[in-house]
Chains A and B, each alone.
Chain A
Amino acid sequence: MTTADTTAGQVAGKLLKPRLSRLARREELVGYLMAAPWLLGILWLYFSPFGTALYLSLTDYDILTAPKWIGFENFNTMLTDDPLFWKSLSVTTIYSVASIPLQIVLGLFLAILLNTRIRGLAWFRTLYYLPAVLSGVAVSFLWIWVFSADWGVLNFLLSLVNIEGPNWLTSEDWALTALIVMSLWGVGGGLVIYLAGLQGVPTELYEAADIDGAGRFRSFYNITLPMVSPVILFQLIMGIIRALQVFTEGYVMTQGGPNNATLFYILHLYRNAFRFLHMGYASALAWALFLYILLLTLVVLRSSSVWVFYSGEIKGRAR
């Protein structure tokens, strides 16, 4: 009985083993085939351009003649001999520093209002989310018209409360502010994700706080905020990556003006590359931006250990 069993098992094992590995080999082949477009894409559209950008940033290149190796000259020019580099960097940084926190605070506030068992939640969510899907040239035109000094709806509304609105887009002092205000229109974009975060907070926490006599603001500060802090971190990083690469508004609405007040970094890069054909220098600009984004992301991530709370960490187990 037992011997028969073992031999049967051995025979089956001998038969199965090569069959399994043949299947595994087949699976591997199919895996490579199905992933092939993307694997080729990584090479052709990511690795190779990435390397090319690195190489070009060390050359003088105008597309028409062969690139000329100049070492770190482009970076030297950028730091010491291009005031517009510093101007565009500061414009973009101010834009990001103002618009990202405002978007996060407003978005979270809206989500908290919507998370109170009110009627018409779906309607409000749709209305608030709509502007977030709109972008591009049409939206820029719409806002030029809203900001129009003499006939725009914004200055009309301000005049109702006896404020004389500025020449938003043509004033050096107000143009960047106008674009920051405009960026808040898309605040509903973060709403869905904040709502998901808020609804994931266990209700026991609020009940316990209620029993302990904690007020509304205490609960918000000690429960809501820590529990949604991972979502805020994510929004912060995505916001940085997006805001530092803003282009269309500056290109369409203000052409970087007046007097370079809205010269976004990518606009400066675009002009160097495609208007002056300084491809080498523009590549160096691209690399500098990449490093800047990387640096900011790392700083935010490092700081997150202080202000981001993961409930799984404390409990020692997930959920």
Chain B
Amino acid sequence: MTTQTSALQPAARRRSMAPIVARHVEKAIIYFLLLAGAVIIMIPLWWMLSTSIKHPKEVFAFPPTFLPARFMWNNYTDLFIKAPFHIYIFNTTYIVIMDLVGTVATASMVGYAFARLRWRGRDIFFVITLATMMLPATVLLIPRYIIFNEIGWTNSFKPLWVPAFFGYAFFIFLMRQFYATIPHELDAAARIDGASEFGVWWRILAPLTKPALAACGIFTFNATWNDVLGPLIYLTSESKSTLALGLMQFRGPHRTDWHYLMAASTLAMLPVVIIFFFAQKYFIQGITFTGLKG
């Protein structure tokens, strides 16, 4: 990209002033469009944040106030009194952690087996792995519910995290692609030094795949933290509610306390936003590596 513009520069310099002015105008237009777009994108988030710290009377002011007249930070602390938010957060965190550990460990191990080891049937199983990625999750929704129902797992967290330990095709694929980029000399050297196959994976190669593992972890975190359908189907009792379910109960059938609802929504989004800002690099790597849109 940089080379493109610099390569064109000598040609531009030879021409008159007009194209240079035109170029400045063009840059200005581009900045204007990008800034306008960014403002539009941010308005809904701003709207949520400002409502979340407004006094209930100010919520229904028209025209709406841009900044609250008084910052009602206690809207946030009130949440924990009005509903067992600490339980929702604990439940969601538990499921997310179990899911993360399962997904990352299995994807790393199975990805290694697909990328680095030769075993009969490997290529066929790899094609099957790719095929399962094409299978819409909703086709499996009902039969899986029936399977988990039969072994008495409904209204428990198990249907939401146990499958992670059996692996997800997409992450196995991602790890396999990543392993394939690591030169073979490394494991060959380790094998000559007497490392076992398992040791080659665990000690030599797995540590080199940290960026890919981070990408797997972040995608899993997001998907599990935001999941609605899974908890909705499997979790029935209040004490098992996740944040998603708890939030839904928070909205009254008739009257809605929007300041509380927006505070709760902000709270639910916060971990995702924080992780996104800190781990953006891995997001982008993961996406460009697999061609997936997050």
Contacts and interface: CB of A to CB of B under 8 A. Distances in A.
A3 B244 CA distance: 79
A263 interface: no
Given A30-B198, A118-B30, A241-B136, A141 B41 contact: no
A26 interface: yes
A117 B142 CA distance: 50
Given A27-B117, A46-B135, 9 more contacts: A31-B119, A42-B129, A44-B166, A45-B144, A49-B144, A130-B41, A130-B276, A156-B63, A241-B134
Contacts of A116: 27, 30
Among A38, A46, A193, the one with the most B-chain Cβ atoms within 10 Å of its Cβ is A38
18 contacts: A34-B110, A49-B144, A53-B139, A115-B1, A130-B41, A130-B45, A134-B272, A136-B225, A136-B226, A136-B228, A138-B266, A142-B47, A145-B47, A192-B288, A203-B7, A245-B136, A251-B228, A269-B138
Contacts, number: 271
Interface in B202-252: 222, 225-229, 232-233, 243-244, 247-248, 251
Interface string A39-56: 111101110111011001
A28 to B, nearest CB: 4
Contacts of A128: 37-38, 41
A274 interface: yes
A300 interface: no
Interface in B167-206: 167, 172, 197-198, 201
B63 A142 contact: no
A132 interface: yes
B77 interface: no
A26 B48 contact: no
A31 B122 contact: yes
A278 B113 CA distance: 41
B205 to A, nearest CB: 12
Contacts of B31: 118
Contacts of A124: 34, 38
B288 A31 contact: no
Nearest to B258: A145
Contact of B62 (A115, A134, A150, A293): A150
Among B42, B138, B228, B269, the one with the most A-chain Cβ atoms within 10 Å of its Cβ is B138
A63 interface: yes
Interface in B35-71: 37-38, 41-45, 47-48, 51, 59-64
Contact of A37 (B37, B144, B167, B283): B167
B16 interface: no
A286 B44 contact: no
Interface in B259-275: 261-262, 264-266, 268-269, 272-273
A287 B33 CA distance: 44
Contacts of B293: 132, 189-190, 193, 235, 238
Interface residues of A, number: 95
A165 to B, nearest CB: 12
Contact of A238 (B33, B42, B277, B292): B292
Contacts of A56: 142-143, 146
A53 B143 contact: yes
A170 interface: no
A294 B138 CA distance: 14
B81 interface: no
B30 A193 contact: no
B160 to A, nearest CB: 13
A81 interface: no
A207 B7 contact: yes
A167 to B, nearest CB: 15
Interface in A127-148: 127-139, 141-143, 145-146
Nearest to B162: A45
Contacts of B143: 48-50, 52-53, 56, 283
Contact of A34 (B3, B113, B227, B262): B113
